[in-house]
Chain A
Amino acid sequence: MKKELSFITVMGKDKKGIVARISDLLYKNNINIEDINQKIIEGLFVMTMLVDVSGYKYPLQKLNSALEKIGRDMGLRIQLQHENIFKMMHRV
């Protein structure tokens, strides 16, 4: 199956269990993590996960809501965006 790559961006205050909760959600929904990076930028914990959503069976809205819920529970901002927006904006 052709890969469908999106970025999950997590922003906020670093705490235990962020990766665990998100990767658990992804694993249960047949979504593979291709790459994972994190950094402190402007005093903020920023983590990006490049994920392949081609195996996800439901509309993306559902995944988005599940990520938002984790974000609310843990006081973080979590976004899901197709990788093409970053490629277009940051690569000539």
Chain B
Amino acid sequence: MAITVDEVFETSKMILCQNLDIRTTTLGINLKDCVDSDFRAFRRKVYDKIYKNGSVLIKEAGKLELKYGIPIVNKRIAVTPISLIMEAHLSKDKFLEMAKALDKAASDAGIDFIGGFGALCQKGLTRSDSLLIETLPDVLSKTKHVCSFLNVGSNASGMNLDAVNLIGPMLKKTAKKTKNGAGCARFVVFVNAPEDNPFMAGAFHGVGEGDVTLNIGISGPGVVRSVVEKNKDGDLTELSEVIKRTVFKITRAGELVGRELAKNLKIPFGVVDISLASTTNKGDSVADVVKAFGIESIGAHGSTLAIALLMDAVKKGGAMASANVGGLSGTFIPVSEDMGMVEAVRKKSLSLEKLEALTAVCSVGIDMVAIPGSTPEEIINAIIADELSIGIINNKTTAVRILPVPGKKPGDLVKLGGLLGVAPVMSVNKYSARNFMKRGGRLPAPVTSLRN
């Protein structure tokens, strides 16, 4: 059956007016084959492999942008967790040198973010993991493109509270070394981190992955908002249906571009991650989708149901559209990157506590939240531990990306610039869980992990 004018127009409108785009094409690169006892040779091999693959990605992605008339906004790289390949080079200087090599390779290839400067430490910390965390304030302040992650828990392992307890102090040091604490925006702590997530800051190339893989992240909160607005009187089932149908269409666009790009790069295609991801552009906001549902402002009671409905419909539409839906697939609810979320915090509709509740049903977690720089380390650790325990118990990924901004108090606005947007500083419960957090150790794996 021939494509109709209406169908062509629908696609054009999504792209031109509703910000539909391929949000990211992320090349996962295995660096295990670069390991060398000679550190200089090791670093050179890492640089060469990233630069070579990165520059081809940019060129080929550009061609497809033109062919299909759909913007591919970000071209990124995710690498093998660096702590793993640095086990035999245990010095802070070498970690920093390696970070700078990643930074330079990304910059020379024209890549804006390179993820994977991190560690999998869900059950324990190796010396390399601890050293990596110690180096992070320097790495995040002395590089521009390097993103870092830690996976500190999983359903099978429980949660490593000793690792969590290192994060608060690390974030505070990083915040002091970077303007407005923006360095913290390039660090995310996870439980159940997906090994093929194409979205930054948490992307890394999992140890079970092949040599080089292409993953695609597709977005479109504006497109979803538009169909919700058109269905003002639909009940929840109808709402779910129209969202599913729309997400099916946009995921198919991602699948098409991903498969063809992987074929042109002569590498395997990994996954399509269909995640509604806000940007600071007008209308490109998940908070606005919630508003279109009929909620005055995100954070109001009813918002958790709205996000749950949205998240589930997105997953269902995506699953039908692609055999390889993966990554985080669902809905991100970052604060600073979503103008509707910023407004909700400013008018006290959205608190940190309600945000935490929303993360129990969204796809990631507490994301791009600024808090006062004076927040004690143990309270930051406790915010992280609370969020991550939601993931452990509910068999899902959760994560935290939080910025303790020096000198700022609740209500202040912090300009982070570019994609990171503007962060309203949120107030934090001042009572402390210090003595609880001090216990350290590991939260045992939940009973749901006993499935063998």
Which residues in A have some Cβ–Cβ distance to B below 8 Å?
A: 7, 9, 11, 35, 37-39, 41, 46-48, 50, 60-61, 64, 77, 79-91
**B5 & A37 in contact (Cβ 8 Å cutoff):** yes
The residue on A at minimum CB distance from B250 is A89
- Asked whether A85 and B68 contact (CB < 8 A) given A11-B9, A41-B9, the answer is yes
Provide 19 A-B residue pairs closer than 8 Å at the C-beta atoms, listed in order of the A residue.
A9-B8, A11-B9, A11-B12, A37-B4, A39-B5, A47-B5, A48-B8, A79-B12, A81-B67, A85-B70, A85-B253, A85-B256, A86-B3, A86-B11, A88-B252, A88-B253, A88-B255, A89-B250, A90-B7
Across-interface contacts of B6 in A (CB, < 8 A): 39, 41
B residues in contact with A9, CB < 8 Å: 8-9, 12
Nearest CB in chain B to that of A46: its residue: B9
Chain A neighbourhood of B253, CB < 8 A: 85, 88-89
Complex Cα spacing A55 to B448, Å: 61
A-chain residues with CB within 8 Å of residue B16 when the two chains form the complex: 77, 79
**Minimum distance in angstroms from B177 CB to a CB of chain A:** 43
Q: How far is the CA of A48 from the CA of B7 in the complex (A)?
A: 10
A86: min CB distance to chain B, Å? 4
Query: For residue A83, which residue of chain B has the nearest CB?
Result: B3
Residues of A within 8 A of B3 (CB): 7, 48, 50, 83, 86-87, 90
A35 contacts B2, C-beta separation under 8 Å: yes
Which residues of B are found within 8 Å of A79, using beta-carbon distances? 12, 16, 69
Determine whether B354 belongs to the interface, using a CB cutoff of 8 Å to chain A.
no
Query: Quick one: given A9-B9, A41-B6, A48-B8, are A88 and B1 in contact (CB under 8 Å)?
Result: no
Instruction: Mark out the residues of chain B between 248 and 275 whose CB falls within 8 Å of any chain A CB in the assembled complex.
Output: 249-250, 252-253, 255-256
Complex contact B9–A85 (CB within 8 A) = no
Give the distance to chain A from B299, nearest Cβ to Cβ, in Å.
33
Interface of B is mostly: helix
Chain B residues near A41: list those with CB within 8 A. 5-6, 9
B236 contacts partner chain A, Cβ-Cβ < 8 Å:
no
Residues from chain A with a CB closer than 8 A to the CB of B11 are 81, 85-86, 89-90
Distance in angstroms from B88 CB to nearest chain A CB is: 46
Q: Chain A contacts of B70 at CB under 8 A? A: 81, 85
With both beta carbons as reference points, the residue of chain A lying nearest to B12 in the complex is identified as A9
Does B447 have its Cβ within 8 Å of any Cβ on chain A? Answer: no
Complex interface: chain A residues within 8 A of B249 (CB): 89-90
CA distance A38 to B255 in the complex (A): 29
Given A9-B12, A11-B12, A35-B2, the answer on whether A86 and B7 have CB atoms closer than 8 Å is: yes
Closest residue of chain B to A38, judged by CB? B5
Q: Which residues of B contact A89 (CB under 8 A)?
A: 7, 11, 249-250, 252-253
Question: Does B323 count as interface, using CB distance less than 8 angstroms?
Answer: no
**Which residues of A are found within 8 Å of B12, using beta-carbon distances?**
9, 11, 77, 79
Contact check, B8 vs A80: say whether CB atoms are below 8 A apart: no
Interfacial chain B residues near A37, Cβ < 8 Å: 4-5
